[in-house]
Each structure stands twice: as structure tokens, then as C-alpha cells.
């Protein structure tokens, strides 16, 4: 099931350096965005594939039915209720008031979301775009509460996964299945089109166990004002708005973040990160201790076989 990681021996840290004392700057991406060669096998329209390649993300509407979304939402609510007082590391709370913000590793711990991880509409698409066998690098359900939902500052996931997890190259992507309507005003995902073509070298170093605080508030691996300005002036900013049941697919290096949510309307989603099996993580950079398994599949990597899932039996 496991394939050889062909990048392990390469000096990938010289290709995408960060937090190593060198100044903030943009490096050009050297990896492909679209690994697939043959568009005839694409599971989505060619124009959508093109959008993904050029912008670094694509929003697919009406992928999941109302019934499926209701099922996922009910499961998320059930998890929030039953784990409300749970203190395991997989559960991340809002700073200040302690409401649950995210629950990680749901593709392993939860039967429904385990099924979802192999759902052809997600896993099949990821396998196509990455043109490799795939596995789940990370999964989570996110709940951005109304009234006091905090912002999440700009970041490239890849920068973190590369430095803190040792993900060699840009051959991973995230899918976010929206369980609530994303309005422009309730803190939707913001993305910078075209930012995936540049690697933003971040200043500063990484403190030990950074992940404990970074999941609540990012302090390291933060792109500089000047780099963000450069990228946003070139590509603009897009708010990923849309009805529940949409899927936002974005490249691992697309710069994204979200503002606060003061509205009464919460925002929730299920998140799956697919990585190419050939791109599985090696040692973290700078001698950092590997982050826990719930943030980064390292020991428990299982290749996924995309399939048609019937949630009727859940």
C-alpha cells in the first residue's frame, strides 16, 4: 500500500526555505499545480480545472445534497455536544471563551467522516488533480461560532506543512465542504487568486510546540505585510461565499485566511487535506519535533480508494 517517497533524498529545504533567518521574499513555485496530464479523465468541467490551475482554487457548487449536508451537520453538532467537556488534543477551542472551534482527525475517529474521506466527489477529484495515489494528511470539522468567531490570519498551509511536518513538495490540496451558508459577512474563507504560484518565505523561527498556539492564533509562519500586499494587488481577494453543500478546493500553497464573525450566523465545514502518497512527510525542518499524528498523518498513512458512498446506511 505504501509507495517510496522519491523526494526524501532531495535537498527540498533549499527549494522552499522559511523561518531560517533569511528575509521575507516571494520565491517562484517550482512544482506543478495540476499534476494531471489528460483532461479527458477530469471529473469536473475543463473550465473548473483551468480555474483551479490558474487561481489556486475553485468553488464547486451543489456537490452535496441538502440531505447529505443535514447528515454531516447533525454529526458535527452531535460531536460538539458529546465532546463539549472533552479535553483531548484533537479538540481546539476558541481563545477566551472555550467554545469548540475544530475537531481534528475525524476521518479516523468518526465513521461518517471516514466514509466522506473516500467519497469519489472529493477523493476522486483529489486523485485526479494530484495524479497519484492519495491519503488524508489532515482532517477536521470546523465550527466558527456566531458573535465571537475569531479571525484566522493569512497563511499558506504548505509553508507550515513543509517546515513543521516535513512535507517535501507542493502536491497536496484541501477540500472544504461547507455545511452552512457562507455569506460575505460571517467570516468566509478569503483567498488570494494566483498566490499559489509564489512561495512566501516567512521571517522568524518556530518555537517548540508551536502548534498548540498556532491553531488558535497564528504567530509564526506569517507572511509579511509587504508580501501579502504584493500578492493581493496582483490577484485581488475572493470571498468564498455560497450555499451549504458547496466544496472549495484549494491548492496547498494558496494564501488564505478569514475575518472575524460577529454575526449571529455560525459557519461550519468539514475539511480534508489530501496529499500525494509520493509526497508523504519526512522529517520536519530545523530539527523540529514532529507534530502529533492528529495534525499530520505520519505513522498511520493509508492510501484511499475513491468510491461512490451511500450515506443512506449511516
Residue 46 or 262: which CB sits closer to its own copies? 262
CB of 246 to its own copies, least distance (A): 17
Residue 113 or 152: which CB sits closer to its own copies? 152
Residue 122 or 228: which CB sits closer to its own copies? 228
Cell matching residue 37: 496530464
Residue 178 or 258: which CB sits closer to its own copies? 258
Cell matching residue 283: 522529517
CB of 200 to its own copies, least distance (A): 13
Q: What gap in Å lies between CA 261 and CA 249, rounded to an integer?
A: 22
CB of 19 to its own copies, least distance (A): 19
Residues lying near its own copies in the complex (CB under 8 A):
146-147, 151, 153-154, 183-185, 187, 190, 225, 228-229, 232-233, 237, 239, 257-265
Q: What gap in Å lies between CA 19 and CA 201, rounded to an integer?
A: 7
Residue 7 or 153: which CB sits closer to its own copies? 153
Residue 240 or 304: which CB sits closer to its own copies? 240
Q: How many CB atoms lie within 10 A of CB 84?
A: 11
**CB contact set of 182 (below 8 Å; sequence gap of 6+):** 188, 189, 239, 240, 241, 242, 246, 267
CB of 181 to its own copies, least distance (A): 12
Q: What gap in Å lies between CA 100 and CA 104, rounded to an integer?
A: 11
CB of 215 to its own copies, least distance (A): 17
Q: What gap in Å lies between CA 109 and CA 136, rounded to an integer?
A: 13
Q: What gap in Å lies between CA 110 and CA 314, rounded to an integer?
A: 11
CB of 225 to its own copies, least distance (A): 5
CB of 202 to its own copies, least distance (A): 14
Residue 155 or 169: which CB sits closer to its own copies? 155
Beta bridge partners of 142: 102, 269
Closest CA to 224 of 210, 255, 196, 203: 203
CB of 209 to its own copies, least distance (A): 23
Residue 2 or 147: which CB sits closer to its own copies? 147
Amino acid at each position: 500500500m505504501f509507495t517510496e517517497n522519491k523526494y526524501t533524498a532531495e535537498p527540498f529545504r533549499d527549494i522552499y526555505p522559511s523561518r531560517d533567518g533569511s528575509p521575507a521574499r516571494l520565491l517562484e513555485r517550482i512544482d506543478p499545480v495540476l499534476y494531471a496530464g489528460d483532461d479527458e479523465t477530469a471529473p469536473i468541467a475543463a473550465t473548473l480545472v483551468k480555474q483551479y490551475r490558474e487561481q489556486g482554487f475553485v468553488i464547486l457548487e451543489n456537490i452535496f445534497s441538502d440531505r447529505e449536508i443535514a447528515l454531516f451537520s447533525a454529526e458535527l453538532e452531535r460531536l460538539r455536544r458529546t465532546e463539549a467537556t472533552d479535553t483531548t488534543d484533537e479538540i481546539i477551542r476558541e481563545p477566551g471563551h472555550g467554545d469548540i472551534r475544530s475537531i481534528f482527525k475525524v476521518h479516523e475517529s468518526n465513521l461518517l467522516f471516514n466514509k466522506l474521506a473516500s467519497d469519489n466527489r472529493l477523493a476522486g477529484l483529489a486523485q485526479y488533480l494530484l495524479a497519484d495515489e492519495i491519503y488524508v494528511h489532515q482532517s477536521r470539522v470546523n465550527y466558527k461560532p456566531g458573535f465571537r468567531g475569531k479571525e484566522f490570519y493569512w497563511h499558506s498551509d504548505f509553508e507550515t506543512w513543509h517546515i513543521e511536518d516535513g512535507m517535501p513538495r507542493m502536491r497536496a490540496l484541501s477540500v472544504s465542504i461547507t455545511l452552512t451558508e457562507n455569506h460575505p459577512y460571517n467570516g468566509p474563507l478569503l483567498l488570494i487568486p494566483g498566490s499559489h504560484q509564489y512561495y512566501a518565505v516567512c521571517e522568524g523561527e518556530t518555537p517548540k510546540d508551536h502548534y498548540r498556539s498556532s491553531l488558535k492564533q497564528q504567530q509564526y509562519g506569517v507572511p509579511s505585510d509587504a508580501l501579502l500586499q504584493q500578492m493581493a494587488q496582483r490577484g485581488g481577494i475572493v470571498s468564498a461565499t455560497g450555499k451549504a453543500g458547496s466544496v472549495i478546493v484549494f491548492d496547498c500553497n494558496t494564501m488564505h485566511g478569514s475575518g472575524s464573525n460577529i454575526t449571529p450566523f455560525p459557519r461550519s465545514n468539514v475539511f480534508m487535506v489530501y496529499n500525494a502518497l509520493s509526497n508523504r512527510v519526512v522529517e520536519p525542518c530545523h530539527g523540529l519535533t514532529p507534530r502529533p499524528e492528529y495534525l499530520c498523518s505520519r505513522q498511520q498513512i493509508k492510501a484511499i480508494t475513491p468510491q461512490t458512498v451511500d450515506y443512506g446506511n449511516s
